[in-house]
Structure 1
């Protein structure tokens, strides 16, 4: 039971931040304290006044999150292909390839409900055997 709880926790840790960002939680919010009787006051998050902290994410983190979403929406093969393309286009990302591929491996197992053999079927020689290592680390 402990491993099942750990697996659920890992899945939530990977998926929840992506869902929150994609759902646009900070899109539009009413400001009820602005003045009583006025409904027109709105607080909107935009690129001009949004926090710069969100924009200062490391390129490898942005790539990892994008590939994790892609893995969920399509399949691990598409995400691995795009990982290979990105590391070829931007060699500075190559040193993060292993960590990203492992995260994709773990996410693939989570996507297929713990069926490591289904996740392993998507394995490719991207970043050596890091995807396969990620798949195996969940078991």
Structure 2
């Protein structure tokens, strides 16, 4: 009986923080922070024309964090999520000034991993690591 209770406690201790972070993140995504009396618009990539998307991507790639994001996304496609996440962790240790961008980069890697595996979030979630807190896991869950 004692082992069963201990096993249940360990499971809850592992799952509860992830659930709390993800539910809090998802709850915040629907709050219209900067609207003044009008409904917030939710824009998707499909609502932009192709030239706007490519110019946005080009402007992001011009920054150090954008270049890192693009390099890691390319590595993810060619070498897999494990390599990209390892290089993200190494880059954060090597260049602390990029640490404030770690969360958004890790989320991008999470979304790209889901796309790489054809929408299979279970397979994508297996690569989750504690790099940038739970940002990779959040990216996986938001891609689904």
Q: TM above 0.5, one fold?
A: yes
In the TM superposition, structure 1's runs of 4+ consecutive aligned residues that sit over 4 Å from their partners are none
Match of 1:3 in 2: none
Measure the CA separation in 2 of the matches of 1:89 and 1:98. Answer: 16
1:137 pairs with one of 126, 138, 142: 142
Match of 2:133 in 1: 128
The TM-score with structure 2 as length reference comes to 0.59
2:104 pairs with one of 90, 96, 99: 99
Q: Deviations over 1:64-117 (max 9, x none)?
A: 000000000011111000000001000000000000000000000000000000
Instruction: Please list every run of 5 or more consecutive structure 1 residues that lacks an aligned counterpart in the other structure.
Output: 1-6, 18-52
Query: Deviation of residue 8 (structure 1)?
Result: 9.6
Measure the CA separation in 2 of the matches of 1:96 and 1:138. Answer: 19
> Going by fraction, where is helix more abundant, 1 or 2?
2
- SS of equivalent to 1:114: coil
- SS of equivalent to 1:70: helix
Q: How large is the Cα RMSD of the aligned pairs?
A: 2.5
1:6-25 alignment runs, 5 A limit: none
Larger Rg belongs to = 1
Instruction: Please list every run of 5 or more consecutive structure 2 residues that lacks an aligned counterpart in the other structure.
Output: 1-43
> Is the alpha carbon distance of 1:111 and 1:8 closer, same or farther for their aligned partners in structure 2, counting shifts above 3 Å?
farther
Measure the CA separation in 2 of the matches of 1:109 and 1:62. Answer: 21
Match of 1:79 in 2: 84
Match of 1:31 in 2: none
The TM-score with structure 1 as length reference comes to 0.61
